[in-house]
Structure 1
Amino acid sequence: MSDPSTASIVSTPRPEEPRELAASPGAGLPEGARKEKPRGLLGDAWRDLRRKPLFWISAAFILLFVVMAAFPSLFSSGDAVNGDLSRSLGKPSADAWFGYDVQGRDVYARTIYGARASIVVALLSVLGTMLIGGAMGMIAGYRGGWVDSLLSRIADVFFGLPFVLGAIVILTTFNGSGSSNSKAEIMFLVIMSLTVLSWPVVMRLMRSSVLATREADYIVAARALGAGTGRIVLKHLLPNCLAPLLVYGTIMVGSFIGAEATLSFLGVGLKSPVVSWGIMISEAQNYIRVAPFLLFFPAAFLVAAVLSFVMLGEAVREALDPKLR
């Protein structure tokens, strides 16, 4: 026979643990004491950006310009290419908010449609610059040795070329006064010239980021576990080296909008019948005294677009840099 005391001890059920506490470690704690889910670099940056009025103002303007470039017919139903000479240099009125140019074309319609060429050229130039410069910077920083030296010397050659002078030489050679290039070819030449002269800066930024990151503990651990070069670059190096490139790329969009306008103003960039803000400013320079509105409106849109991208880049830089928080 078994001992009654032992039987009672064995048969006594143990108290069950509350299921809610076992299911959720934060249950039972005050609401403010529960631990928040850890965020990454982009999560922290987005949290800081949401609190900045400068970010929302610049983002709203950029969204407006992007929609204007993609769907100009939503903002104007006028003809941006053809005009009527009887309306030459007509002043702003209810029929034409920004007036008419010397050829009787609606300045408001041309200003709206001019956003497309300027923004498309800037975005594609930034994309090409980021791809070429980022790839070369990644290779130079990760491989090191003679590969780094060779790519750095090539970048120094392009970096030593004056930007405006180099663009003038390239565009004058391939897009001179006697050339018969189409609209697409002219835009491609402008994009190519901006990309060729700008990638060394991106290459240097990416190279410095890779050099500062490639000996980190998680990179060494991934290499020790047998991860290949492609996995290390795509899964570890690239996500942790993109922050400075995102900041510079955002600011560079505004810079390229101004660069395209400068080249078009000098007569070596985009040309008619393409409609852009730079072409409009170039055509208005001879009529500043009699019709200043021809210069004011496209210049105002150009300045607003450039400032919007620059302000967005500054907001992103402050959000991604822990020292500035």
Structure 2
Amino acid sequence: MTDPASLGTAGPLAEASHDLVAGPAATTDGPERPRSLAADAWHDLRRRPLFLLSVGLIAVLLVLAAVPQLFTSVDPSAGDLARSRQAPSAQAWFGYDLLGRDVFARTIHGTRVSIIVGVLATTLTVLIGGSMGLLAGFYGGWIDGMLSRFADVFFGLPFVLGAIVILSTFRESVGAGPVGITALVVLTMSALSWPVTMRIMRSAAIAARNQDYVRAARGLGASAPRVIWRHMLPNCLAPVLVYATIALGAFIGTEATLSFLGIGLRDPVVSWGVMISEARDYLRVAPFLLLFPAAFLAVTVLAFVMLGDAVREAFDPKGR
């Protein structure tokens, strides 16, 4: 009996039948796998001009904070009273302050302190509020009630009044060193801001607690810490990260506000808030002392707010 494979017409038929049997697995370009929420959000973010602009501005600011020597070789603390309040010129692009210090050099070097304060305050706020919100949302009951009422106490405190009381009370305890004062400012901002993060995380945890994957994990005997760490936390981070992005810019502005009121950072610390505070009495005679650090502060806060808005819209499927 003749083998069909030996016939001339059997070749194409065999190839066609092979393709039908193999299906999509025989091709290199198979169907696109469904993306996760984070991957889908990243895919959406890369096409948003607002996100690209904010990331570009933040990247420049991070370079300024990391290596200010690339942009200026002038010592920001070196002053000469003979140059006091001289206007911007080719020698000093932003002019000189009251003590004859280069405003441009101080503005560039002030980026580091302002961003460090914002990052530390945001990180501490997210850790405190996120941990308490996750526990309250997962366990519920009396634990939720106790933590929620504790958060309400701090949430009801006016921020400026609470900061004045805390900083005025403990400033002498930490001494006059820049590290101690900076740490106190960070702790104060975090202590008065964590309830917002706690409420956001609590709401996300309550929604995740009732999902099938959490119930399945608990039904299979997984311990509470494992369920919280492996299953709930990754699915509750998105709204907290959005808030943290916006809060980072807000904390940078808050540091400047506290310094302007005279209860935050002080000289010899170089930050935008300290520079604005020193320039407030000379706004009419030397407005450039306030203009340049305030402009850098405004651009930084705006960049983080734009980044937060872009991330929020990307993580919200209803907004697409």
Secondary structure at the residue paired with 2:179?
Answer: helix
- Show the counterpart of 1:226: 221
Deviates more, 1:96-105 or 1:68-77: 68-77
Deviation at 1:174, TM superposition (A): 1.1
- Show the counterpart of 1:85: 81
* CA deviations over 1:49-69 (Å, ceiling 9, x no partner): 011101011111111111111
TM-score (norm 2): 0.92
Q: What residue identity is the alignment partner of 1:126? A: T
Change (3 A) 1:129 1:179: closer
Instruction: Note if contact 2:111-2:271 (Cα within 8 Å) is conserved in structure 1.
Output: yes
Q: Which contiguous aligned blocks of 4+ residues in structure 1 show a shift greater than 3 angstroms?
A: 11-24
**Structure 1 Cα separation of the partners of residues 161 and 68 of structure 2:** 33
The RMSD of aligned alpha carbons is 2.1
- Show the counterpart of 1:132: 128
- Show the counterpart of 2:68: 72
Secondary structure at the residue paired with 2:25?
Answer: coil
- Show the counterpart of 1:5: none
Deviation at 1:72, TM superposition (A): 1.1
Deviation at 1:26, TM superposition (A): 6.5
Instruction: Note if contact 1:69-1:116 (Cα within 8 Å) is conserved in structure 2.
Output: yes
- Show the counterpart of 1:120: 116
* CA deviations over 1:264-283 (Å, ceiling 9, x no partner): 11111001100011111111
**Structure 2 Cα separation of the partners of residues 202 and 61 of structure 1:** 26
Q: What residue identity is the alignment partner of 2:163? A: A
Secondary structure at the residue paired with 2:300?
Answer: helix
* CA deviations over 1:34-54 (Å, ceiling 9, x no partner): 521211011010111011101
Secondary structure at the residue paired with 1:264?
Answer: helix
Instruction: Note if contact 2:19-2:26 (Cα within 8 Å) is conserved in structure 1.
Output: no
Unaligned residue ranges in structure 2 (runs of 5+): none
- Show the counterpart of 1:212: 207
Instruction: Note if contact 1:125-1:194 (Cα within 8 Å) is conserved in structure 2.
Output: yes
Secondary structure at the residue paired with 1:18?
Answer: helix
**Structure 1 Cα separation of the partners of residues 20 and 269 of structure 2:** 67
1:271 to 248, 266, 272: 266
Secondary structure at the residue paired with 1:90?
Answer: coil
Instruction: Note if contact 1:21-1:27 (Cα within 8 Å) is conserved in structure 2.
Output: no
Superposed counterparts of 1:6-155, under 5 Å: 18=18, 22=22, 24-25=24-25, 27=27, 34-155=30-151
Instruction: Note if contact 1:121-1:191 (Cα within 8 Å) is conserved in structure 2.
Output: yes
Q: What residue identity is the alignment partner of 1:267? A: G
**Structure 2 Cα separation of the partners of residues 231 and 21 of structure 1:** 44
1:247 to 242, 250, 254: 242
* CA deviations over 1:279-309 (Å, ceiling 9, x no partner): 1111111111111100100000000000000
**Structure 2 Cα separation of the partners of residues 289 and 25 of structure 1:** 74
**Structure 2 Cα separation of the partners of residues 136 and 301 of structure 1:** 35
Instruction: Note if contact 2:137-2:144 (Cα within 8 Å) is conserved in structure 1.
Output: yes
Instruction: Note if contact 1:49-1:319 (Cα within 8 Å) is conserved in structure 2.
Output: yes
Question: 1:295 and 2:252 equivalent?
Answer: no
**Structure 2 Cα separation of the partners of residues 169 and 24 of structure 1:** 68
**Structure 1 Cα separation of the partners of residues 243 and 175 of structure 2:** 35
Q: What residue identity is the alignment partner of 1:94? A: A
- Show the counterpart of 1:189: 184
Q: What residue identity is the alignment partner of 2:282? A: Y
Count of equivalent residues: 312
Q: What residue identity is the alignment partner of 1:248? A: Y
**Structure 2 Cα separation of the partners of residues 202 and 26 of structure 1:** 50
- Show the counterpart of 1:3: none
* CA deviations over 1:202-243 (Å, ceiling 9, x no partner): 011000001011111111112222222222112211111011
Paired-residue identity, %: 58
Deviates more, 1:165-174 or 1:15-24: 15-24
Q: What residue identity is the alignment partner of 2:271? A: S
**Structure 2 Cα separation of the partners of residues 26 and 158 of structure 1:** 62
- Show the counterpart of 1:161: 157
* CA deviations over 1:64-99 (Å, ceiling 9, x no partner): 111111111111111111201111111111110000
Q: What residue identity is the alignment partner of 2:187? A: M
* CA deviations over 1:148-170 (Å, ceiling 9, x no partner): 11000100000000011111110
